[in-house]
A and B are shown apart, each in its own frame.
Chain A
């Protein structure tokens, strides 16, 4: 029996405005509880929301980046429910006329490109935080986060595997950071996903879905979906039925468990917020936002691919704006071919950045030095293996690549005379391997090259050593 998995994501991206969406309070993370909550955030009697235009502008920016439609007139609604960390007893959100409708996000999974459609992206305010520890059986409420602007991005149920969902989430994560509307800090909750998951037998109508709430890492997203798919398939195969419900993922146990069923679902009693006027988004406003947009990843990928970079590499290079910049500037500054630059940026440099947990604009290695290093590989001064060592030394602050190469004696021996004498010695000392090679055993050749490298402490240019060896064995 083949099962098809159907996934849609709702993503909350916290916007990078300095102040909240409906009050003047700051949005900084990590301040002492309730120090960043104004009378409006506390829902004091008589307080009124005033829309932060910066939040709308960021939503417009997103709409343009995904090719969505920007509503000329967008409205805010109240979503009513009681919870201690929801001070007004309602959340101001958008229901009927969100800022953004439609749009697409491109993903690559297993080397294949796919486009995920978006339903909408709307603005809303975040709630506060309930603190259940340290209060001796009571709960504390921190309203610093209350009123923080969020863009909720809703996808169509276009994803067919956990891998696709993760690829989509990553692409979205990269995009919101690229266009500067969200810092993407997942630990701090600036970017979090709810996953709607259902399964069906191929060709059948959509199955009943479950929503998994608040997934704040790509790994959790993947694990939660994988677990949920297994759970639903097992349930159906055992003759059961999936019940529509909201579930929570427990990262410690790697499983999802029920939070509330459809019957317990709130009736949110949405209605237009009478305290806020509809927002008019004029074409002039949209044009101005467009003129301030950076070049988008898709456009950049196109340019890279036109220069011979594979689609896969181009996707990796445009993971972030900083990385794409690092790549483009390095490619300009080095004599090494672009493909080499791409391999190095996507390979070793990315690995280093990930281990150290730094962004590409905060790398300890600058573009000029890195370009020099690639020059040295390209002109044969050092081997790829030695280059890795040099890169690590550069990252450790040991200086410029040329100095490191000299200090560590990593220069390759490309000089024919020096290599020749090593080759002669190896041939003389390894009669058996030489015979094997001549008898047609290709493996023996590699072993001989290895011996030459060993004899030169790895400094011989392996390509040159091979050439010379082949020449001598043929002649002999």
Chain B
């Protein structure tokens, strides 16, 4: 099976640029070990299954670049918790997936290793930052992939490429060994073809890890066993703020149809309100850069990673290393973050943003008194064309409008394919659950997929 996917990556997948690192020998050795394990009768559901990992996860002896030149030569000396969990399950590390540099981006155009293409339309972006993971699953270059979601980096590319993507509750999966972008928002999750796949993947990744102080010690549900049961009687909330002029018509229609489908399956659709939702992008683009500016200070050319070849003195070394090592989007966010934390601006920006964050979380807490799940679009549009938003960062940031509030509140959210919009590009339905309510979200998604076939569609040329 690993051979099969390696061949697809090198063959029809090559045009997508979905991977940064492939190491056939290592992957095949793991596959062999998995075969032996299966022969011994000790196989689990993921034993021998190849999984692509976003290049943000440290994997021992693998290049781990975070999509950046500054880590372009960094071979990790250790495994992240997530990688170790997949190892334990007997999964095969198929390759390190391309991504926006340090997970900063919504189009995968910010990778030092070149943009990823959307398998549904090579002129379109696959979304970001987990664009390589999403494209790989959509083009069937990998049966499953991991991703991280700081502001929508799993759900938005899942939506753009017509696959399923889940961001769990903050603290459900350990961040140990994940190159940090914004610590209070980063969360690892998974991308797969079906809700059922997501359930198996999450069951493998989730769990307490004492090496991450923000990881929560709480039993992990048996997500796969809890898939059945349908949505009968489930209260599905639709925020009245969701269907505005910000939402493209070609997205709105399939989303409404999907909500109708859920109602048809027995869910009770109720209107809820998230009144502070419009503040979320602004708050996010203060908090995330603030944390990033500090998190990325360690890339200074002193101990590992890229160092400028020529420099006059220490400060010159810092300046040149970081000027040459970071791409423009990363620099922009480091500058924003440094600015909002500076003396005299901290209260006006950082403290205010934290207050907004609290208001947004409170909106959700209130909404979940009236419903069990919240549904809506994962992104305001279908995948846009490569290069079309590259020069307008604010327009790019606004693309995260539907995903960011969930990160600010620390909630779980997933996206499943629910139709197609303009140019035959996929549309994703976002399902948001209450804290640690992943099992209910997956159950609803599974019920939807039992009744529809959007998730079975494969882009042309990748069947």
Chain A: interface size category:
20 to 34
In the bound assembly, the distance between CA atoms of A39 and B58 in angstroms comes to: 12
- Taking the nearest CB of chain B, how far is it from the CB of A313, in angstroms? 49
Residues on the A chain within 8 Å of B71, using CB: 45
Q: Which residues of A contact B176 (CB under 8 A)?
A: 46-48
Which residues in B have their C-beta under 8 angstroms from that of A364?
A: none
A45-B71, A48-B176 known; A90 vs B294 contact (CB < 8 Å): yes
Contact partner of A45 (CB less than 8 A), chosen from B58, B212, B297, B341, is: B58
- Separation in Å of the A55 CB from the closest CB of chain B? 14
Give 1 or 0 for each of A48-66: 1 = CB within 8 Å of chain B CB: 1111000000000000000
Contact A90 B297 (CB under 8 A): yes
Task: Let me know if B213 and A89 touch, CB within 8 A.
Answer: no
Which residues from chain A contact B214 at a C-beta distance below 8 Å? 274-275, 277
9 A-B residue pairings within 8 Å (CB atoms):
A42-B303, A43-B298, A45-B64, A48-B176, A84-B302, A269-B342, A275-B214, A276-B213, A277-B213
Query: Cβ of B180 and Cβ of A87 under 8 Å apart?
Result: no
Binds A, one of B28-36, B73-81, B196-204, B227-235: B73-81
Contacts A89-B298, A277-B214 given; does A45 touch B291 at CB 8 Å: no
Minimum C-beta distance from B191 to chain A (A): 20
| A122, CB-defined interface residue at 8 Å | no
Chain B neighbourhood of A84, CB < 8 A: 300, 302, 314
Chain A hits for B80, CB < 8 A: 46
- CB of A46 to closest CB in B, whole Å: 4
B342-380 contacts to A (CB < 8 Å): 342-343, 346, 350
A275 in complex: contacting residue of B77, B183, B304, CB < 8 Å: B183
Q: Which residues of A are found within 8 Å of B314, using beta-carbon distances?
A: 84
15 more A-B residue pairs beyond the given contacts A44-B76, A267-B342, with a C-beta to C-beta distance below 8 A: A39-B78, A42-B303, A46-B64, A46-B175, A46-B176, A80-B297, A84-B302, A84-B314, A269-B293, A269-B294, A269-B346, A271-B350, A274-B214, A275-B180, A275-B214
Given contacts A45-B64, A46-B177, A48-B213, contact A274 B183 (CB under 8 A): yes
In the assembled complex, A78 has its CB within 8 A of some CB on chain B: yes
Chain A residue numbers with a CB within 8 Å of B316 are none
* A173 beta carbon closer than 8 Å to chain B: no
Shortest C-beta distance, B347 to chain A (Å), equals 11
Question: In the bound complex, do residue A50 and residue B213 qualify as a contact, i.e. CB atoms below 8 Å apart?
Answer: yes
Q: Do B290 and A271 have beta carbons less than 8 Å apart?
A: yes
* Chain A hits for B303, CB < 8 A: 42-43, 87, 141
User: A213 at the A/B interface (Cβ < 8 Å)?
Assistant: no
Which B positions have Cβ atoms within 8 angstroms of A? 57-58, 64, 66, 71, 74, 76-78, 80, 175-180, 182-184, 210-214, 290-291, 293-294, 296-298, 300, 302-304, 314, 318, 338, 341-343, 346, 350
* Chain A residues, Cβ within 8 Å of B213: 48-51, 275-277
Whole-angstrom distance between the Cβ of A149 and the nearest chain B Cβ? 16
Return A297 CB to nearest CB of chain B, in Å. 36
Q: How far is the CB of A325 from chain B (nearest CB, A)?
A: 39
Q: Chain A's interface: helix, strand, loop or mixed, by majority?
A: loop
The reply to whether the CB of A82 lies closer than 8 angstroms to some CB of chain B is yes
Are the C-beta atoms of A44 and B346 separated by less than 8 Å? no
B296 proximity list for chain A (CB < 8 A): 89
> What are the 7 tightest A-B residue pairs by CB atom distance, in nearest-first order?
A89-B297, A269-B341, A274-B183, A274-B184, A46-B177, A43-B298, A45-B179
Q: Are B178 and A46 in contact (CB under 8 A)?
A: yes
- With a CB–CB cut-off of 8 A, which chain A residues contact B177? 46-47
B294 to A78, Cβ gap below 8 A?
yes
Query: In the complex, which residues of chain B have a beta carbon less than 8 angstroms from the beta carbon of A87?
Result: 298, 302-303
- Name the residue of chain B whose CB is nearest to the CB of A267: B343
| Residues of chain A contacted by B298 (CB below 8 angstroms) | 43, 45, 87-89
Which listed residue, A49, A82, A271, A276, touches B300 by the CB 8 Å rule? A82
Contacting pair A45 B210 (CB below 8 A) = no
A89: chain B residues within 8 A (beta carbon): 294, 296-298, 300
Is there an interface contact between B179 and A46, defined as CB atoms closer than 8 Å?
yes
Measured in the bound complex, the distance between the Cα atoms of B341 and A44 in whole Å is 24
CB-based contact B180/A46 at 8 Å: yes
Q: How far is the CA of A84 from the CA of B298 in the complex (A)?
A: 10
Closest A residue by C-beta to B317: A84
Q: Which of A45, A89, A141 has the largest count of B CB atoms less than 10 A from its CB?
A: A45
Q: Which residues of chain B are near A267, meaning CB under 8 Å? A: 342-343
Q: Scan A274-289; emit 1 where CB is below 8 A from any B CB, else 0.
A: 1111000000000000
Contacts of A51 in B (CB 8 A): 213
Bound together, the chains give a CA A458 to CA B74 distance in angstroms of 81
Question: In whole angstroms, what is the CA distance A89 to B177 when docked?
Answer: 18
Q: How far is the CB of B185 from chain A (nearest CB, A)?
A: 8
Query: Closest residue of chain A to B176, judged by CB?
Result: A48
B211 A48 Cβ-Cβ under 8 A: yes
Please name all residues of chain B whose beta carbon is closer than 8 Å to the beta carbon of A47 when the two chains form the complex. Answer: 176-177
| B290 surroundings in chain A (CB, below 8 A) | 271
Q: In the complex, how many angstroms separate the beta carbon of A53 from the nearest chain B beta carbon? A: 12
| Minimal beta-carbon separation of B175 from chain A (angstroms) | 6
**B74 and A45 contact, CB distance less than 8 A:** yes
Cα distance, A49 to B213, chains bound together (Å):
7
Instruction: Name the CB-closest residue of A to B315.
Output: A82
**B178 to chain A: which residues have CB within 8 Å?**
46
